Amino acid sequence: MNARIQIAILLCALSAPVCLGQSWQPMGPPGGDVRTLTSDPSDKSRVFLGTADGHIFVSADAGGHWTLLGRAGTRLDSVITAIVVSPRDPQSLWTATWTRDPKAGGGVYRSADGGRTWSDAGLMGHAVRALAEAPSDSNVLIAGAVDGVFRSTNAGKTWERISPEGHEELRNFDSIAIDPGDARIIYAGTYHLPWKTTDGGVHWAPVHEGMIDDSDVMSILIDRTHTRRIFASACSGIYLSEDGASLWRKIQGIPYSARRTQAILQDADHAATVYAATTEGLWVTSNGGSNWKRLTPGDWVINSVALLPGRILIGTEKLGVLVSEDGGAHYRGANDGFFHRQIVALALDRQQQGRVLAVLANAPETLIVTKDGGTTWAPLGQGLRMQSVRKLYAAPGGWWAALERGGLMRYDAGKSTWANAGRLDSETASLIASANSTNKGRKAAPHPAGNNFADQVNDMAFCESTWFAATEHGLLRSADRGETWGILPLGPMPTLPVRSVRVSSNGTNLWVISLRGLVFSHDGGKTWAWHDLPEAAGAALWLDATMDGAEETIVANADNGLYISRDAGKSWTLAGSGIPQAEVQDLAIAGDTFLASMRAGGLYLSRDRGRSWTRVTGMLAEGFFPVVTTEDHAATLFVASATEGLYAIRFGNTAAQQTQPGGSQIH
């Protein structure tokens, strides 16, 4: 299968004839982006973690290990902005969400079983960016949303608006704090400035004297020992008020460049100790804000903090969860079980089992490899940047990368570096130069110096003796493992753009999508047969093919779904039994097993060569899987989602198998 990898998935084929269940085993890589951390007030070793796709993780051992509980709601773009754990019932949780789709909004969700399942708790359609429980009355919840402030007096069963509807300033709320002794006293920060009510929302007053105008107030902290002492973090810095927010003064000692403070937290045992999580590290004051010092490197982006007995837990961008057990002097990763990486490119080494190469977005190391099936991951070489990678390939003998700007790079294991690779033979270089000049109406221009391979590669396919590259100037072929390339004409127009290419293991059968349609060869490219999809399908986007004895099955993807041919492309049938008639992002084929990932999200499985399909259900399976690929004769399926990293999936009917969170199954 091709490696059309932008957000990647690696799928190894299945061998079991009957699929009655599935287990999902996380393989990493560990870490990722953390949006929020919250500790259980009745058990500080129990910590909850929220992500930017609605997922909730829990640790029962103060961050030693994390378990994915589930997703708050069903949307894949729900950002968890707050998690509230009831002090009187640790199994009762609430979470606030907003969605990246502004039309969907967000809402509040409740769990009665410690986060394993979640239900609608109101404010659906409202982008809720802050949520707090009243310390004096656990039935009172206050939610700050883009369109106002809302209150529940019955633990989230019903809600009422307590800010004026349509008010020009009382909107775009980003933070909420409730007075510990009086639930009617509420501080609320907006994208613009802070507000306060002392009568439960009947009246609101702006409280921004001393604060720089147009400050986005991202966090508000009320000192539990002196409730008129208020800390507020804003895009203009950290502020302190000693008189209930009537007058603010800007705290000195924290650089102006660290002004985006995501959260402020007070130490439970030492009231004068306050932590500030900023975009330039974690800061602490031990004297109520008079002096501050930074506890982490300045390039760490800290989104949240949890203060536990004997340790500081921080949630970051890129680095995942980090823990310090010596007051912030040293840190180590605490990501065991927290897998939330964004894989943007992926390739499987077909010659060495368990060896996978991945390119990550928003990670400290963008190019990493595992040689042991995900137990450990390590950086791989220098010279290749994530932004440069169009696709990754595991060619016989090593890793290759197609670049966004055109051309190929090859990993040199001896030197641990990536280097430009591939040259065109003289005839091919002349053909491409001539085609470029013709298209531009000029005299034939020479190809780049040294006939270097500079074309953009859309796809690659490999058999042991010959490699193929689908490029904008035609189908290229190499007989020396990518050192030199030459045009393999598809007919009278040798430089016709090619989108997709497949080859059988012996190199005899070739399947190609060109600008003009589908082209197949059964003699290694000596002769070609041209075929088209039905008129209703429009143009084919990519194809895949498999041989099982005499039966040749070809699958082509079009805008309205998958088309399958079982007679070498002469006739086509739209795959519609159990799978939506919509564009498929990618497809994995291994023997009788087909697995399709939909562009709109979700996975569909066929165990009879595409004749019937069943949706893979469950929390993880509902995600985005834009690219799939297969390994020959494998018994395990590996899935790398758009956000959750790499998973090994085993299908079968053994009772010992463990289902994924959410109970994914095939029925």
User: pLDDT tens digit string along 22-78?
Assistant: 677 788 899 999 999 999 999 999 999 999 989 999 999 999 999 999 889 888 889
Domain assignment present for residue 304? The answer is no
Taking 50 as the threshold, does the pLDDT of residue 20 lie above it?
no
pLDDT tens, 415-439?
999 999 999 998 888 888 877 766 5
pLDDT tens, 378-399?
999 888 877 788 899 999 889 9
Taking 70 as the threshold, does the pLDDT of residue 316 lie above it?
yes
| Dist. CA 549–CA 543, nearest whole Å | 20
Domains of the chain: total: 2
E strand or H helix that includes residue 436? helix 426-440
Do 302 and 296 meet the contact criterion of CB atoms below 8 Å apart? yes
Domain assignment present for residue 158? The answer is no
Where a domain ends, among 318, 339, 360?
A: 339
CATH code of the domain in which 81 resides: 2.120.10.30
Give the SS3 label for residue 387. helix
Q: Which amino acid is present at 143?
A: A
Domain assignment present for residue 414? The answer is yes
Q: Which of 361-365, 477-481, 623-627 has the lowest mean pLDDT?
A: 623-627
pLDDT tens, 611-649?
999 998 877 777 777 666 666 555 566 777 778 888 777
Higher pLDDT, 627 or 402: 402
Instruction: Kindly list the distances between the CA atom of residue 446 and the CA atoms of 433, 434, 451, 456, 476, in Å, as whole numbers in the listed order.
Output: 6, 8, 9, 17, 18
Dihedral through CA 336, CA 340, CA 341, CA 346, nearest 10?
A: 90
Mean pLDDT of 500-524: 90
**For strand 498-503 and strand 457-462, is the pairing parallel, antiparallel, or unpaired?**
unpaired
Taking 90 as the threshold, does the pLDDT of residue 348 lie above it?
no
Q: What is the pLDDT of residue 75?
A: 86
Where a domain ends, among 284, 306, 339?
A: 339
Domain assignment present for residue 148? The answer is no
Domain assignment present for residue 553? The answer is yes
Domain assignment present for residue 324? The answer is no
Other CB atoms closer than 10 Å to residue 293's CB: what's the count?
Answer: 12
| Dist. CA 142–CA 186, nearest whole Å | 9
CATH code of the domain in which 577 resides: 2.130.10.10
Q: Given pLDDT bands bounded at 50, 70 and 90, which one contains residue 537?
A: confident
Domain assignment present for residue 189? The answer is no
**For strand 593-598 and strand 584-590, is the pairing parallel, antiparallel, or unpaired?**
antiparallel
3-state helix, strand, coil in the chain (%, to 5): 5, 45, 50
Instruction: Kindly list the distances between the CA atom of residue 310 and the CA atoms of 180, 215, 291, 325, in Å, as whole numbers in the listed order.
Output: 25, 35, 23, 6
| Dist. CA 200–CA 219, nearest whole Å | 20
Domain assignment present for residue 142? The answer is no
**82: containing domain:** 31-123+332-339
Where a domain ends, among 339, 357, 375?
A: 339
| Dist. CA 232–CA 251, nearest whole Å | 10
pLDDT tens, 257-287?
556 888 899 998 888 899 999 988 999 998 8
Taking 50 as the threshold, does the pLDDT of residue 654 lie above it?
no
Taking 60 as the threshold, does the pLDDT of residue 173 lie above it?
yes
Instruction: Give the HSE-up count for residue 575: Cα atoms under 13 Å, Cβ half-sphere.
Output: 33
